[in-house]
Amino acid sequence: MTDAGALARAYYRTIDDGDYESLRDLLADDFAQHRPDRTLDGADAFVRFMREERPETDTTHVVERVYRTEEATTATAAADDPLATADADAYVAVEGWLERAGGETWFRFVDTFAVADGRLAALTTYTM
């Protein structure tokens, strides 16, 4: 079984390094990111957004805490839960902040991931 926490850390590292090919390799083909302002459906659309459309690319994700389960939960999820995936093997949540090039904190975040078959299957991002 893939270490879900290591997979999440690799996600941030590839984005910060601008290594979009490796980022794509981490994502399931039907990966989706859900955030308050938009949903990005499909791994290719997500990678394109990260590479070409982000407002700032010279940033660093600082990971403060990683919470994970190495087996899929059997708890009942809400029908509209973006992480509700029948084939999830694990779930991971990451707390941290995004730093701008000058070192100042842009915003704090909590990201929640579903992992299936050794890849990131879904992501919900919360910012504060």
- Confidence category of residue 17, pLDDT binned at 50, 70, 90: very high
90-104 tens-digit pLDDT: 999 999 999 999 999
- Confidence category of residue 105, pLDDT binned at 50, 70, 90: very high
Paired strand residues for 119: 116
Please tell me the predicted confidence (pLDDT) of residue 69: 79
User: pTM of the prediction?
Assistant: 0.87
CA 15/CA 97 separation, integer angstroms: 14
Domains and CATH numbers, the chain: 4-127 (3.10.450.50)
Please tell me the predicted confidence (pLDDT) of residue 72: 54
Written in H, E and C, the secondary structure of 16-72 is HHCCHHHHHHHEEEEEEEEECCEEEECHHHHHHHHHHHCCCCCEEEEEEEEEEECCC
Q: How many residues does the chain have?
A: 128
Please tell me the predicted confidence (pLDDT) of residue 1: 46
37-87 tens-digit pLDDT: 999 999 999 999 999 999 899 999 999 999 987 555 544 455 555 565 557
